[in-house]
């Protein structure tokens, strides 16, 4: 009986003592999430082209086939450059990362990657292009044709 009374008394004193340790703010505050070194950077956060709001010229044309660029988040498209009847767009895909979309001629193409730069050379007669904020030094012979877009000479 003595042990039971002693145990109840100790638990009661501990409970009373501990409630005085935390103020009202401490009970209401949620713990801050720790920054992870493995945190994934969203493509639109990584590239300067996505920092401005999407403008009318950034929208993909209505003339695109219904199935073109299906996996692209259309709210992220940005027109990088137009060369004659060929337009180059930056975009993101939830599944594939950062994308370079090329629309001109009969067949629209896209190249997507999680590692920059994004390179595209899929249309016949088209020069290879790259999309990034900047290119590594070993691409120094490439021609910058627009902000964020380079073409192989």
Every domain of the chain and the residues it spans: 43-151
pLDDT tens for 75-134 read: 999 999 999 989 999 999 999 999 999 998 778 889 999 988 999 886 566 678 899 999
d(CA 85, CA 130): 18
pLDDT at residue 56 in the model: 98
Are the beta carbons of 150 and 129 closer than 8 angstroms?
A: yes
pLDDT at residue 125 in the model: 64
Q: What is the largest CA-CA distance in the chain?
A: 94
Helices (H) and strands (E) in the chain, counts: 3, 8
Enumerate the β-bridge partners of residue 143: 151
Are the beta carbons of 78 and 50 closer than 8 angstroms?
A: yes
pLDDT at residue 127 in the model: 74
Q: Between vectors from CA 53 to CA 84 and to CA 127, what angle results, nearest 5°?
A: 30
pLDDT tens for 39-65 read: 344 554 568 999 999 999 999 998 888
- Going by C-alpha positions, the residue among 47, 121, 127 that lies closest to residue 90 is 47
Q: Which residue has the tokens 């390179």?
A: 119
d(CA 101, CA 61): 12
pLDDT at residue 104 in the model: 84
Strand, coil or helix: what is 128? coil
pLDDT at residue 28 in the model: 46
CA 62, 67, 69, 75 torsion: positive or negative?
positive
pTM of the model: 0.68
pLDDT at residue 126 in the model: 67
């Amino acid at each position: 009986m003595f042990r039971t009374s002693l145990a109840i008394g100790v638990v009661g004193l501990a409970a009373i003592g501990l409630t005085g340790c935390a103020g009202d703010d401490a009970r209401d505050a949620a713990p801050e999430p720790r920054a992870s070194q493995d945190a994934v950077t969203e493509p639109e956060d990584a590239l300067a082209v996505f920092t401005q709001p999407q403008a009318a010229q950034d929208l993909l044309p209505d003339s695109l086939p219904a199935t073109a660029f299906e996996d692209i988040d259309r709210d992220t498209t940005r027109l990088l450059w137009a060369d004659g009847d060929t337009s180059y767009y930056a975009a993101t895909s939830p599944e594939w990362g950062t994308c370079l979309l090329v629309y001109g001629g009969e067949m629209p193409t896209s190249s997507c990657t999680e590692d920059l730069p994004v390179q595209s050379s899929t249309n016949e007669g088209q020069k290879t292009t790259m999309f990034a904020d900047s290119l590594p030094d070993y691409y120094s012979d490439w021609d910058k044709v627009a902000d964020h877009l380079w073409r192989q000479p």
